[in-house]
Structure 1
Amino acid sequence: MTKSNRNVAVVSKITSKNQVTIPKAVREALNVKSSDEIEWELRSDGQITVKRMSPEKDDFWKMVDEQEKKYGKVDTPEIDWGPDAGSEDFD
């Protein structure tokens, strides 16, 4: 979505679990996707600002998520490669 000088109104509905789906136009404007974080700023005048959180270079949990996607979760069963090298007898 390109920025323009016109205002756009979109509507979301709050579920029974107090969850809201972010409309596609807003996701595109914020350039966010699944697992990204957004910040809600509530101002004293009643205005609310929503913006994309900028990713931290040393964000530990984001790095963990990326490693899980690449290598699997910590609780993923390991492959049994057999006995360790050097454990056999060479007599």
Structure 2
Amino acid sequence: MNKSVLVIIALATTALLSSHPAQAYDGPWCGVYSIAPGGAVEKCDYRDFESCRMDVVAGNRGFCRQNGYYQGNAAAYAPRHRKARRHREG
């Protein structure tokens, strides 16, 4: 009994630690849709606000919001290091 519980815990731990995050956060914009009273679904694969808005306006009840998990091209937003200027003595 004890061995089976330990095996199950070991398998669950391995599954949790080795899993990759879901691909739910692919784009910078998310559409949040109402599916039932008190229920909602989030779809985060919109590349711009307009495509999200068009999907919401097309009959899906909901709203658009920015994706807080989207990292995008992080290198494009990294601070650039400037070369130090040499001052002339004169």
Q: TM-score range by the shorter chain?
A: under 0.3
Q: TM-score, normalization: structure 1?
A: 0.23
Higher strand proportion:
2
Higher helix proportion:
2
